[in-house]
Structure 1
Amino acid sequence: MTATVRVPGRSIVLGEGRPEIIVPLTGADITRVLEQVELALEAPARILEWRIDLYRQELDAVQHRAEVLAALPAVRGAMGEKHALLVTLRTSAEGGAREVSDQGLAEMLEAVIASGHTDLVDVETSRGAEVVAHVVAAAREQGVLVVGSFHDFDATPGEDELVELLRSQRRAGADVPKIAVTPRHANDVLRLLAASLRVAADGDGPHIAISMGTLGAVSRVAAEVFGSAATFATVGDAAQGGASAPGQLAARDVERMLELLRP
């Protein structure tokens, strides 16, 4: 039996039943982010991911951190108690909007965790082991879950490498390991799905495995069949709630497909 992970204080259990739908908040300012929250609350999603690298991109690192921390209470408060907030600072090294040093990433994530206004944080596990360890330790102390992430926007690694990536993320302390890779042909998607099944068979806890782009869309809607605990989807139009990665589908379409494809 696969281990599950409950989001503290929420009735959300990852790795149990239908995969969770996660909706990104990609607004450039607080007005747009709060508009996206309002849209997301009407969608079939219980986890909202605030992509803070896309927020106030014109600011330097110090100003950006201050603005994110100032906005966090409003963003979390607008969501209510039934939803969980995942805060993600996606760096330019993995397809994000800000160039961030290891130290800068750790400082931002630890400040977000200490604020008490997030339920989950994302940390890129390709960063230095010390950075990941510091973020994990801070999250443990505050009861915040850690999504350990890896992205490849150029290709799909081999199946064994994908399996090891997910397992190594869990060893590093991630509550929910995550990989998102780019397929160039159908066999790449098959490798991603096969790797996801192998890691699910470990029974050590939930993970997220995504093949990006149109070619990989099947991995988003058949997540439960292949052992992935969550998928990402959008709400609104491109201006209101745009995708945060290639291949994301509308949340209601994903919900319908997840139900149709339940094993």
Structure 2
Amino acid sequence: MTYRTCISIGEKTPNKIKQILKIALKNSDYAEVRFDFLEIEKIPEALERIEKDLNKVVCTLRPKAEGGEFSGSEKERVSILKLIAEYNPFLLDVEFNTLKRNPSLAKYLTSTKTKLLVSWHDFKKTPGSDELKKRVKQMRKFSKSVKIVSTAKSTEDATRMLELYKKSEKISLISFAMGDLGRISRILCLYLGSPFTYVSLKKAIAPGQFSVNEVKKIINLKYTN
């Protein structure tokens, strides 16, 4: 079985994104470009500069309320999400809460056949099993690609996120827990069916994130021991 990685990129200029993306795709299967790290007016330029590689890019435009850096209005963000969709990236990450609040956006993205990754994050805790299962069921109404991430306060929290893979045969599920206590779930999710795990090129941009080299070393241990 092939275990894939996706390097998260959070840079503040289009030129730097292009440079880092080139390196990232030499070391990883995919890359996530966090467009929310850019000033709004620089996003179209960034899209143009990396257009030829977007078939391997997860595009993310996370608002501050969802742990991101985008500081513009929600109207501006929705417009930019529609613009990104026109470039037909590998995946367009849109928050579950965003799609719930904007049925017209969800309808538009469906009409354009955008490959949507519906995401939901809890930066404070890990909900109970029933709540998590219910959330996944709600999210899959928008897409078969679902990303659900919590914050682990215990190893049991990380285990609970991994248990979601038991009944995920009909969807492409990315489920793990953030933070030091959830760190191992970023690796174990690969063995349970996650299409890839998020990693950094060097410095982590998310709590508990491994670097791509660390993950490669850990995965290789499985074959040498």
Q: Deviations over 1:118-173 (max 9, x none)?
A: 23211110235252x434433334342101011111111111111221221111x1
- Offset of residue 232 of structure 1: 0.2
Task: Report the counterpart of residue 42 of structure 1 in structure 2.
Answer: 26
- Report the secondary structure of 1:192's partner residue: helix
TM superposition score normalised by structure 2: 0.88
Equivalent pairs: percent with the same residue? 24
Q: 1:259 to 1:137 in 2, by over 3 A?
A: farther
Q: Deviations over 1:90-140 (max 9, x none)?
A: 1111111124554333222112112x2523211110235252x43443333
Task: Report the counterpart of residue 250 of structure 1 in structure 2.
Answer: 211
Q: Deviations over 1:18-44 (max 9, x none)?
A: 34311111111122212211220221x
Matched, 1:224 2:177: no
Q: Deviations over 1:56-79 (max 9, x none)?
A: 2xxxxxxx1x421122021233x3
The aligned amino acid for 1:69 is P
Question: 2-side partners of 1:102 and 1:199: how far apart?
Answer: 34
Question: 2-side partners of 1:140 and 1:20: how far apart?
Answer: 27
Question: 1-side partners of 2:106 and 2:218: how far apart?
Answer: 34
Mind listing any 5+ residue stretches in structure 2 that lack a counterpart? Answer: none
Match of 2:78 among 103, 106, 122: 106
CA contact (8 A) 1:163 1:198 kept: no
- Report the secondary structure of 1:223's partner residue: helix
Question: 2-side partners of 1:40 and 1:229: how far apart?
Answer: 17
Identify which of structures 1 and 2 has the higher relative contact order when contacts are C-alpha pairs closer than 8 Å and 6+ apart: 1
TM superposition score normalised by structure 1: 0.76
CA contact (8 A) 1:18 1:258 kept: no
Q: 1:261 to 1:94 in 2, by over 3 A?
A: farther
The aligned amino acid for 2:11 is G
Matched, 1:148 2:118: yes
Task: Report the counterpart of residue 178 of structure 2 in structure 1.
Answer: 212
Segment drifting more, 243-252 vs 177-186: 243-252
Q: Deviations over 1:213-255 (max 9, x none)?
A: 22111111111333322210011x33xxxx3311111112213
Instruction: Provide the alpha-carbon RMSD of the alignment.
Output: 2.2
Mind listing any 5+ residue stretches in structure 1 that lack a counterpart? Answer: 1-16, 57-63
Moved over 6 A (4+): none
Query: What is the number of residues matched between the two proteins?
Result: 223
Question: 2-side partners of 1:106 and 1:40: how far apart?
Answer: 27
Matched, 1:197 2:165: yes
CA contact (8 A) 1:18 1:224 kept: no
